[in-house]
């Protein structure tokens, strides 16, 4: 099990991005949270099997037709105890 902190840049607010990610993460059994930043980026912590995370990341980067990711960064962080993936405000 691994946990990652990810920041997405581009057209990621106002296009259903957080709900798209939640759907993908929950379907694959990943936990964590996602939140809009004031600067227009979206930050996320996501936890689970590294191979599953990679598959979900590929789907996130492919987008839903409205999402346009221009850049992203990933940092491995310590695993924590949690049981869901949700939106933070």
Indicate whether 10 belongs to any domain.
no
**8, 18 contact by CB (below 8 A):** no
Residue 36 is a catalytic residue: yes
The phi, psi pair for 81, rounded to 5°, reads: -85, 120
pLDDT score for 54:
98
Indicate whether 46 belongs to any domain.
yes
pLDDT score for 44:
99
pLDDT score for 59:
97
Indicate whether 51 belongs to any domain.
yes
Indicate whether 36 belongs to any domain.
yes
Full domain range(s) for residue 66: 30-77
Residue 68 is a catalytic residue: no
Question: How many domains does the chain contain in total?
Answer: 1
Catalytic residue from among 11, 35, 36, 49: 36
Indicate whether 17 belongs to any domain.
no
Indicate whether 59 belongs to any domain.
yes
**Which stretches in the chain have pLDDT values below 70?**
none
């Amino acid at each position: 099990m691994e946990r990652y902190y990810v920041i997405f840049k581009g057209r990621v607010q106002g296009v259903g991005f957080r709900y798209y990610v939640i759907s993908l993460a929950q379907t694959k059994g990943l936990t964590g949270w996602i939140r809009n930043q004031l600067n227009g980026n979206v930050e996320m912590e996501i936890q689970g099997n590294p191979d599953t995370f990679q598959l979900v990341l590929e789907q996130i980067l492919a987008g839903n037709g409205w999402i346009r990711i221009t850049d992203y960064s990933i940092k491995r962080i310590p695993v924590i105890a949690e049981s869901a993936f949700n939106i933070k405000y």
